[in-house]
Structure 1
Amino acid sequence: MSDWKLPWDGGCRCGQVRFRVTAAPLLTMACHCRGCQRMSASAYSLSAAIPTDGFAVTQGEPVIGGLHGATRHYFCPHCKSWMFTRPEGLNHFVNVRPTLLDDVSWVAPFIETWTQTRLPGASAGAAHSYEGFPPFEDYPKLVEEYAKRGPRPG
């Protein structure tokens, strides 16, 4: 896994909350759902699914925002940057906003989800697209393919 050039550091816009990634992403994604559009104030949100044991907050205390439901969205308490999400029932990974990494030169979505609510003209250029989320049975082959040909830091 040395081709991933880990660890990676990142943080919120104001720098009060920092994090470290020490495990390669399982996938990178662009989500076009209305919730992500609203939380990111953009056409889609970008995520990197990082194994839980490969992610740590190293400075500051993020707060829960968004809908405050079972899926937890974490934000900087000062600048309100949406930093990462812990999806309900999926404790083996954390969805990190990869645009908050110090080096974003390699960040590109491998899959895009919720294309049924994609805004006109908003394409993420991902290798795989799904109208909703991929079927659970697709994830093992997507993760395997991403491990082989997903973008890497330069």
Structure 2
Amino acid sequence: MRAGRKEQLMDDRNLPWEGGCRCGRVRIKISAKPILTMACHCTGCQKMTASAYSLSAAIPNEGFSVIQGEPVIGGLHGASRHYFCPYCMSWMFTRPEGIDWFVNLRPTMLDKLDWFTPFIETWTSEKLSWAVTPAAHSYKALPAFDEYEGLVKEYLARAG
């Protein structure tokens, strides 16, 4: 990490950050720093992204807003709600089932992305053999529920 990068990229004074889908019809804003960043290797994410894994940044709910357009629910249409642009169909964010205190943002939707590195990677039991991330922690499935508090504390300490 180059000198000063942490302060430049994760400082609250740099917020809010904005972003949008590929076509720009849906725009979002975050006004709170991520509490955790992730890469998910599950086959569901592979299919939804047409890639090796999906990327997520957990944003506190009060620090996330849609400022233009109206995303639609897509993906599996299940209990965890995956939101997409209705025009270009970019997968923008997810509201996980039973969890209303954060939003899983696809960080590639943000206009500024050079701050992002996945801190944990999940579902490595389903990952493609060549897929590699710089994540500090890897899990064959998901971390145990009681591990998240420590992971969040460690991530926030490293992120500034």
Report TM bin, short chain.
over 0.9
- Counterpart of 1:62? 71
Alignment partners' CA distance in 1, 2:25 and 2:113? 19
Identity %: 65
Amino acid paired to 2:28: F
Count residues with an aligned counterpart.
151
Matches within 5 A, 1:128-143: 128-143=137-152
- Counterpart of 1:111? 120
Deviations 1:86-119 (A, max 9, x none): 0001111100000110001111100000000010
Normalised TM-score (structure 2): 0.91
- Counterpart of 1:14? 23
Q: CA deviation at 1:57?
A: 0.1
Normalised TM-score (structure 1): 0.95
**Secondary structure at the residue paired with 2:11?**
helix
- Counterpart of 2:98? 89
Where structure 1 has 5 or more consecutive residues not aligned to the other structure, the ranges are none
Q: CA deviation at 1:3?
A: 1.4
**Secondary structure at the residue paired with 1:144?**
helix
Amino acid paired to 1:149: R
Q: CA deviation at 1:36?
A: 0.4
**Secondary structure at the residue paired with 2:116?**
coil
RMSD between superposed Cα atoms in Å? 1.3
Alignment partners' CA distance in 2, 1:58 and 1:79? 17
